[in-house]
Amino acid sequence: MKELIGREVEVGTPGMTYSGKLLEMTETEITLQTETAWISVPVDQVSYIKKAPEGSSAPLFDPGG
């Protein structure tokens, strides 16, 4: 899973799917940077982590507007 750090991923939990850039993984939580915020998901709630499909997410910052 460490190879996904810095990449766009999908993180699934029983009630939600989060998409964003994987910033950090610890023994207790996974931290993502989404378009509007940073999100921490407790590891014990994660069902899966996978690389996001190519072109599936909007850029985090678009200086062109």
In one letter, which amino acid is 26? T
Whether residue 62 lies inside any domain: the answer is no
Place of tokens 């909007």: 58
Q: What per-residue confidence (pLDDT) applies to 1?
A: 72
Contacts 24+ apart (CB under 8 A), 27-33: 33/60
Place of tokens 């998901």: 41
- In sequence order, the β-bridge partners of residue 62 are none
Task: Give residue 45's domain range.
Answer: 2-51
Q: Name the residue among 20, 23, 18, 17 with its Cα closest to residue 1.
A: 23
Give the CATH number of the domain where residue 18 resides. Answer: 2.30.30.100
What is d(CA 36, CA 43) in angstroms, rounded to the nearest whole number? Answer: 22
Whether residue 8 lies inside any domain: the answer is yes
Q: What per-residue confidence (pLDDT) applies to 57?
A: 53
Q: How many domains does the chain have?
A: 1
How confident is the model over 8-19, as pLDDT tens digits? 999 999 989 999
Reported as a pLDDT band with limits 50, 70 and 90, residue 53 is confident
